[in-house]
Each structure stands twice: as structure tokens, then as C-alpha cells.
Structure 1
Amino acid sequence: MSTRTRSIAKGAIAGLLGGIVATAAKSAVEKIYPPRPHGEPEPPQVLTSKPGGRVLAFRQNLAAQEAIQWGFGATVGAAYGALVEFYPPATSKQGASFGMALVALAHDRTLPVLGFAARPEAQTKREHTSELASHIVYGVVTETVRSIVRRMID
């Protein structure tokens, strides 16, 4: 049993760092097992295709996509780290549950409603399993890095 003092700030910092490392790991998994192997656009591509009704230059578009991907990964990691400070069961299965919850919330619910991804019933089996696998990796890596960093900054 830990006697560590709970700190939303320390938890968020640890989670943010975990989310950044986990985003890199998730990207690596998606290169090996891509969810959309036939060139279908990824959600960040859809989001940056015409922001505010204007077309971005190629380099601006790539930069915006990277900012969305890394920003989302870092922000979600920070939120997770803060949550864990007061709800430790969120770390169940060494972060795998967090990854599964994230894919269910983001890819199966929010992105389809916003029009940035296909509805779950329209997804191919490959898309669904790749998203699930990459998000489980994201969750496990986020939790692993978060727990190490959190112990270091206590």
C-alpha cells in the first residue's frame, strides 16, 4: 500500500509523459498493422482536410495532423494520470483497460458521431482489430511510463 500524497498536477505530468511515449508506440503498431491499408483517410486527415472552410497547404496539413495526433495522445495521457491519482482502479490490467475504454469512447462513439470515422458497424474487421490493438498498446505504455514517472516525482 502506497503512502504517497495524491497530486493531480504530478499525476497529470506523469500521464502526459506517458501519453507522449505511448503515442509513439501506437504509431509504430499502426505502421506494422495499419487500420486502413487501402489509403482511407485517418481521423486527423479528415479533421484537417478543410478546417474553417479553407484548404491548408501540404506542409501545413501534415503539421496539423501531427499536432492533432500528438496533442490528443498527450492530453488523454494527462487526463488519465490525473484520474489515476484519485481512482487507482483505472490502471487495471496494467493500462490495457484504459486503452480499450479509449477506443470504445473515441473510435466507436465520438469520432463517428462527429463524422471523422466510420461507424463501428461499417468498419472492417481489420480496422477494428488494428484500432483495438494499437489502443491497448497505447494504454499499457501510458500506464507503464506514468507509473515510473510518478514514482520518480513523488
Structure 2
Amino acid sequence: MSETQEERKTGPAKSLLKGMVAGLIGGLVATAAKSIAERVYPPRTHGEPEPPSVLAEKLAGHELTADQKAVAAETIHWGFGALTGAAYGALAEFYPAATAKDGAGFGMALASLTHEGALPAMGLSAPPEQQTTRERTSEMASHAIFGVVTETVRRVVRKVLR
């Protein structure tokens, strides 16, 4: 399939589906990168529960075994990464300014919305003023990595999906 002269000038035709697929793949790769970053610079070092584990038990309505909690937390973690990546890919498709700073802005906004807003509001983590400096800086750094990796992979995959 050859590119038209117009596509070379303006880029590929906009496609919600292609944008979402590219973002979803980017989100999955970025989730792996974020997980690695959190192993190097962990946000919680004193045995505090991970928000996905707390959410898993809230959704189940009872205490889970260690194995059940681990599976549920990983499912939530990877699912959230894939879904936010897909949403980002859709947004980037129609609002390219969302990709500013090579995706770092997306990652920082996501950290603010989740770790400083939604998670404390849902009782899944401490409010920002009660979080340690390490927790806040680790979350911001790992989310910036998440955003940059999501954008980098999204851009490559989107070019492949012309």
C-alpha cells in the first residue's frame, strides 16, 4: 500500500481505532518500564500496601490470599496501563498537543490524577500530604517514564499502522 502525496505532507489519516491500538501497545510496554523503574526506586519501602492490592480486596469484598492478591493486583496494574495507553493514543490521534514533551506531560498528569487525586479519594492510598517524599518522587518519576515510553512506542506503532 503506497502513501499518497497528501499523507506524506499531513501524516496518516486520523483513525480512532489505530490510535487506540497504538496507545494500548504503548501502555503495555510502558507498564513494564514503570515496573522496572519502581524496582530501582520503589515508592513504598516500609511495607505499605500497593494501591492495586487494596483495590483488589475492596472489589472482592473480603481478604484475599497472598496468591489471589498478587494475581488481582497484577491484572489491575497491567489493565490500567493498557487502558490509559489506549485513551492516550485516542487523544493523541485527534489532539497532537497531548504528546508534548514526548509524553512526559501525560505521565505527570496521570500521576497527579491517580496518586494525588483518585487513589486517596477512594481510600486506596494516603493523601498527598501524608505520603513520604520518596513515595511522591518515585511515583512522579515512574509516571514520567510511563508517559515517555507510551508516547515513543505509540508513535512507532502508529507509523506501522498507516
Please say whether Structure 1 and Structure 2 have the same fold, judged by a TM-score greater than 0.5.
yes
Q: Equivalents in 2 of 1:122, 1:58: separation in Å?
A: 26
Q: Contact 1:35–1:130 (CA<8 Å) still a contact in 2? A: yes
Among all aligned residue pairs of Structure 1 and Structure 2, give the percentage whose two residues are the same amino acid.
Answer: 58
Which protein shows a greater Rg? 2
Please list, as runs of the form range in 1=range in 2, the aligned pairs for 1:85-104 lying within 5 A after superposition. Answer: 85-104=93-112
Runs of 4+ with >6 A deviation: none
Counterpart-to-counterpart distance in 1, 2:60 and 2:111: 27
* SS of match in other structure, 1:49: helix
Aligned residue among 146, 154, 157 for 1:138? 146
Distance in 2 (CA, whole Å) between partners of 1:127 and 1:120 is: 9
- How far residue 96 of structure 1 moved from its aligned partner, in angstroms, is 0.3
1:50 offset after TM fit, Å? 4.5
Root-mean-square deviation (CA), in Å? 1.1
Amino acid at match of 1:145: V
* SS at structure 1 position matched to 2:49: coil
Contact 1:50 1:56 survives alignment (8 Å): no
Mapped to 1, the partners of 2:38 and 2:76 lie a distance apart of 16
| 1:106 aligned residue | 114
Unaligned runs of 5+ in 1: none
Query: 1:51-90, aligned counterparts within 5 Å?
Result: 51-90=59-98
1:43 to 48, 51, 73: 51
Give the Å deviation of 1:54. Answer: 2.3
How far residue 55 of structure 1 moved from its aligned partner, in angstroms, is 2.6
Q: Which amino acid aligns with 1:15?
A: G
Report the TM-score when normalising by structure 1: 0.96
Deviations 1:110-146 (A, max 9, x none): 1110000111111111110000000000000000000
Letter in 1 for 2:83: T
Instruction: Provide the aligned length of Structure 1 versus Structure 2.
Output: 154
